[in-house]
A and B are shown apart, each in its own frame.
Chain A
Amino acid sequence: MIKLATEADAAFSSFFEEMKGQGATGLRQAAWEAFAAKGLPNRRVEAWHYTDLKAALGKPAPIASAQAGMREIARAHDSVRLVTLDGVFRPDLSDLALLPEGVKVQSLREALAQGAPGVMALVASADVQAEDAMVAMNAALMQDGVVLRIAAGVTLGQKIELATYVSSQDVQSSFTRAVVVLGKDAKATIVETAGALTAAPAQDNQALILRLAAGAALDLVTHVSGQSDKLVRVMSLLAHVDEGASLSSYALVEGAGLLRRQIFARLNGEHSKVALNGATLARGRQHADTTLVVDHAFPNGQSRERFRNIIDEQGTGVFQGKIVVRPHAQKTDGVMQSKAILLSDQATMNNKPELEIFADDVQCGHGATCGRLDKDQLFYLMARGIPRYEAESLLIEGFANEAFQGLEDETLRGFLLGRISSWLAARSK
């Protein structure tokens, strides 16, 4: 059991006492034990080598309480939006009436209270929580979230947005967990928004559980932003991609405080495909960590990872990517690429691409680079009369956009590119 050695341990322990009566008692108990056995991740934990949560979460904030009343939240997308605010799913702020046919939505709180075995099996994340303390903590303390089911064979014409915000002026912790299930051969585009409507330094722990049944296809577009430079946010994506199914993920991370985005993607059937792409922008003292584990558990799988980091001022970027090929996952094809540009003398980038391969008939590779903007390219642009600052912006924009090339939805791609441009516009000259 947990040793109540630190203030943080004691606080989390009291959170667990508070949450354990809120449904899914067995599941929470097992998750709590998994967390307690590990404690808060620190640099001695290999998967957290570059991000120290023990230091960042030394003083856990109290669990968020629901903010009553309506609140206008600006829309970024033309989508059917499902809002989770300060740890609580808000039907009143969501477009439940506009849900297309074949789509079912339930709040996690309600699902846990009903305790239907099918749903509980989906909510559980036993395989990953054994590995990662923050996923375990999320399962032990989960407050609410969305359970979204898309029926077999449905092709959604409209985007669905899972928007999760923190808004309280008080410093609070929130623990949310969403579940998205695509039935056989279903096709959808989902936008995942993680934002902050407050400058208070919230502590946010989110998990998104994805299940893609055979033949399903999902485009997942993630946008992460925040306001406070003391925000601590951990986002975990846990995906199972079954036979012949395909997951394409595109993420734009705008740094805010300490951010860790972790992806555990499992190719859970033959001929499944996973493509993970992302661009990270960090400045100030921001710390942005992207960590992924792509687990090839079946033969003939294909995975592609493409990440870009742009780090300015005293920012720190982290990329850790691991491709695992299990003993029987023959004919696996995996390629991972991570590139970083440092824009300032104070910026730091840590790259750790890993291959862990137990099958012989595979083609796997990774590449990682780190450096500054190419002098020759800058010269080329400046020789054509473009001022240095603009030339730099142009090159950075092009570099970041590489992550979103595969995204077919043009409005979403336009949105992401727009965000990159405004980030660049705010860059100090």
Chain B
Amino acid sequence: MAARQETVARVEEIDVDAYKYGFTTDIESEKAPKGLSEDIVRFISAKKNEPDWLTEWRLEAYRRWLTMDEPNWARVKYPPIDYQDLYYYSAPKSTPGPKTLDEVDPELLRTYEKLGIPLREQEILAGVETRKVAVDAVFDSVSVATTFKDELARAGVIFCPISEAVKTHPELVRKYLGSVVPATDNFYATLNSAVFSDGSFVYVPKGVRCPMELSTYFRINEQKTGQFERTLIIADEGSYVSYLEGCTAPKRDENQLHAAVVELVALDDAEIKYSTVQNWYPGDSEGKGGIYNFVTKRGDCRGRNSHISWTQVETGSAITWKYPSCILRGDNSQGEFYSIAVSNGHQQVDSGSKMIHLGRNTRSRIVSKGISAGKSQNTYRGQVSAHRKAEGARNFTQCDSLLIGHECGAHTVPYIESKNPSAQFEHEATTSKISEDQLFYAQQRGLSAEEATALIVNGFVRDVLQQLPMEFAVEAQKLISISLEGSVG
């Protein structure tokens, strides 16, 4: 009850444009000239002192990208994007490579403080149980700080910006980069391969259970800047890692492009848990501004008994185009996808998951909860397929949509393809509104309309919230209430 009251109170204290991370940071930054060309690709690569093979890899991706068409099959509408009217590289100006946090621009530190992201490795107070979370903070195109590096290094875990990993662990990067999402994969992934700026790199060695949660925090600050980060996580045999991702951006009138690529590789008996709380600026109540979130996320269960789990809470972005997938290659591997997608205002969400069953006895589960309010459109689009050799594959999919208000839409487009008789696929989808009966029942017992709605929505998304790490779950629950603000009544 207390938590719900707090949620309602929080909702009340903010105005219609409830986005609280909409401030901008005045910081001097260094940008590449506007537009995209081979020279810009070379410029980015040179800025990062990259080896020749990587420069070449980027250029190849760029040339390929020129031949590709923007995908148009998703249920989203937006004016054409002028890819030459964007900055592809922006970095806060600072002394080259700050060694300690004291060298980092204080303005930046204040930004992260405001966002509630701890960049200083806080000592743990005696008797107070707080879990440690290592953070990699990415500001526009570069990573500004990574915490707890030393402690992780003692466990053998590599956690650093990918630009650093290219230099310190080139053999790993070269082996795995583009091995899950090839540079030629799709329009946005190929663009990302050409111009990706930074992102996190994680390697967990054989048999190691990563001692703390890893997390990356993405922030877009500059105007007319695209953010193209690239995350690569490798869990070697028998290892485990849990990774969290958060994102925000300032309120701006124009739309900003975010085209990230996330690649996960799980070898024999390894497990990766990837959680996202996505809260990019969704645009104002008129539908002006907001982030275009065109993201390719894919996990490869390469080894036997490997396990990849995606959990996402999506409340932000003007447009979301995102389908975290699992390629279940190893025998007995397991893929999971849990998602809550909340859309309000003029947001458009086209999101879902793909489970590609290649190996024997592979199992997957998809639980997707879509909540549409205001004038938003929320689409679940997913694919489950079993190939000829996927003996004994198993999938269960559940997609539920909740509609709040009469101007929004909820859509479900699953593709279920089976080429193996022993594969057992089940799919269920429902769409409904919060029933009058439920509301009446709750209000009878003294809850206000808003409280009652919050209660019902929380119940609706519970299955997914339970999958989130505890710190995130509380935050996510509040976020959902805030996103639905103004939609009740």
Contact = CB atoms under 8 A, between A and B. Distances in A.
A300 B409 CA distance: 18
A109 B411 CA distance: 42
Contacts of A340: 418
B343 interface: no
Nearest to B391: A345
A360 B433 contact: yes
Contact of B411 (A49, A357, A371): A357
A340 B424 CA distance: 10
Interface string B168-200: 000000000000000000000000000000000
A352 B385 CA distance: 12
B413 A354 contact: yes
Given A342-B420, A360-B433, A365-B431, A352 B414 contact: yes
Contacts of A343: 421
B47 interface: no
B417 A350 contact: yes
A362 B388 contact: no
Contacts of B420: 342, 345
Given A351-B427, A355-B431, A359-B406, A368 B416 contact: yes
B429 A371 contact: no
A93 interface: no
A23 interface: no
Interface stretch (B132-140, B141-149, B397-405, B447-455): B397-405
Contacts of A355: 401, 410-412, 429, 431
Contact of A362 (B407, B417, B432): B432
A410 interface: no
Given A351-B427, A354-B411, A370-B416, A363 B432 contact: yes
B409 A46 contact: no
Contact of A367 (B410, B419, B427): B427
B409 A362 contact: no
A358 B433 CA distance: 12
Contacts of A330: 406
B160 to A, nearest CB: 42
B415 interface: yes
Nearest to B413: A354
B421 A365 contact: no
A369 B425 contact: yes
Interface residues of A, number: 35
A350 B431 CA distance: 22
B430 interface: yes
A327 B406 contact: yes
A366 interface: yes
Contact of A352 (B404, B415, B423): B415
A67 interface: no
Given A360-B403, A360-B404, A348 B419 contact: yes
Contact of A357 (B407, B409, B417, B428): B409
Contact of A350 (B403, B411, B416): B416
A358 B409 contact: yes
Q: Which of A343, A347, A360: most chain B CB closer than 10 A?
A: A360
A330 B432 CA distance: 11
B411 A345 contact: no
B357 to A, nearest CB: 12
A356 interface: yes
A342 B421 contact: yes
Interface string A318-353: 000000000100100000000010111101111111
Interface string A95-137: 0000000000000000000000000000000000000000000
A364 interface: yes
A361 interface: yes
Contacts of B413: 352, 354
A356 B411 contact: yes
A334 to B, nearest CB: 9
**Which 8 A-B pairs rank lowest in CB-CB distance, beginning with the nearest?**
A342-B421, A360-B403, A351-B416, A371-B424, A365-B430, A372-B421, A355-B412, A368-B427
20 contacts: A330-B406, A349-B416, A351-B418, A352-B414, A352-B415, A354-B414, A355-B410, A355-B431, A357-B409, A359-B403, A360-B433, A362-B431, A365-B428, A365-B429, A367-B426, A369-B425, A369-B426, A371-B418, A371-B421, A371-B424
Given A348-B418, A352-B415, A370-B416, 5 more contacts: A361-B406, A363-B431, A368-B416, A368-B427, A369-B427
